[in-house]
Chain A
């Protein structure tokens, strides 16, 4: 752990990677997988904008909405359960504020609605992996 300041501005999302094709909203550990996915997808010609929410409350919805207005496509990635995750709230707010700017249905990539399996292969499937994130991005631009 490098010794430096770890203070972040409160309620301000961070655009980790600018892009023009897809808005990818995520937070916490999934930021790294999303960035990995974005990097691979850039080779396929899909330019993904990765937004790290950093704080959920207050939620920086303006950054997300502005990005969606630019790209027209939204993928949300979360490590939490699909049916109860906070990411659903993000998508709802986008629906309320930027519906007319969406060019494809929003897609979420979240943990499967099962207790996290112990077997490594199953665990990898249950928790969003890079492959699932990439698949979601390809789907929204298809």
Chain B
């Protein structure tokens, strides 16, 4: 029976590691405690030791792959064993994962959409629904509080309405029709009231000043470890990355561009 060799959880908050490389060849004989691979966490590079002795058969992982912890990456057993993962396959976060990894189904694809649509469903009490229809409130915007946050009650709709900026009834109805969030608008009517024109203006697609100039990406550097975390947190909190450096959307790469294209390559 071959032993499964997996990426250990190298710390309390470590959810995934970046593969640095294998220290052994596929099919090589290893002894227990021998370092066979190197992984990088947010903080440091760690060697990972073999958990058994025998012949190691490596999985389809290579340097640079982002691997969730506790993923089986190799097996250690007899010389003629083959690497295969039983049960859940590794979900490799890297875009350039190998075809073999893509072929292994992580979860049955049908199960997921059903689950999400179930959790997305908004439960609304009949009374709250009636009020929402009367006052043209989009129920998806209302935070439910009834039954420990499961169901939208009348009180939630009233709270939501009281938070909304003042708007004329026509503007309210239009906002729901065209899907504009009133909270982000500034009213131009009397007393700051949101009027029809404000909705119309908001409903128009934002005028893009000029198309982004095509810049030559010189080099893509993955942001690893602490730098990756800093980039991610900054991206979450502010638009700092626009002004300072250029990152791609995932927050995992820094894109080095020509200086003239500096500002436009942010996303």
Contacts and interface: CB of A to CB of B under 8 A. Distances in A.
Interface of A: 72, 99-104, 142
Contact of B153 (A99, A100, A101, A103): A103
B125 interface: yes
Contacts of A72: 125, 127, 153-154
A142 B154 contact: no
B126 interface: yes
Contacts of A104: 125, 146-147, 151, 153
B128 interface: yes
A contacts with B: majority SS = loop
Nearest to B128: A103
Contacts of B102: none
B148 A99 contact: no
Contacts of A99: 126
Contacts of A142: 146-148
A102 B125 contact: yes
B187 to A, nearest CB: 31
A102 B154 CA distance: 9
A35 to B, nearest CB: 26
Given A101-B126, A101-B127, A104-B125, 9 more contacts: A72-B153, A72-B154, A99-B126, A100-B129, A100-B130, A102-B125, A103-B126, A104-B146, A104-B151
Interface string B12-55: 00000000000000000000000000000000000000000000
B134 to A, nearest CB: 11
A103 B128 CA distance: 6
A101 B128 CA distance: 8
B148 A103 contact: no
B142 to A, nearest CB: 13
13 contacts: A72-B154, A99-B126, A100-B126, A100-B130, A101-B130, A102-B127, A103-B127, A103-B153, A103-B154, A104-B125, A104-B147, A104-B151, A142-B148
